[in-house]
Amino acid sequence: MPDIDDFGGIADEPAFVISVAARMVGMHAQTLRYYERAGLIQPSRSRGNIRLYSQSDINRMRQIQGLINDLGVNLAGAEVILRMSEKIRELEEANQALHQQLQRFRDRRLPAPRQGE
């Protein structure tokens, strides 16, 4: 199921041009371009090659901004933290799927406990 943004749209749907995205996060458009060159964000492109940012991109930029401004992390550190956070989220999802698979296996293989045991 896709994530829904604060406005009722799909969070990964490209919706904002760079000037709007920059205003939303309180950054210069040049900073957003730099983040893209550094590989921290990957905005979509329109047919005319215009950068289009999704709500997910905006949220990611706010995360980067918080790491830098609130925690004093440099850009390279913010990149490492974000990549590790994504990996942890992926591992947690895989772990949850394995737990569900194990439970389904147990439900099929193990007899139901008797009353009083």
Q: Quote the pLDDT of residue 70.
A: 94
Q: pLDDT tens digits for 3-54?
A: 555 555 566 888 899 999 999 999 999 999 999 999 899 999 988 999 999 9
32 contacts 21 by C-beta, under 8 angstroms: yes
pLDDT value of residue 115: 72
Rounded Cα distance between 91 and 113, Å, is: 32
The per-residue pLDDT for 1 is 46
Domain 16-109 sits in CATH 1.10.1660.10: yes
Each residue of 50-80: pLDDT tens digit? 999 999 999 999 999 999 999 999 999 999 9
Residue 93 has pLDDT above 70, yes or no: yes
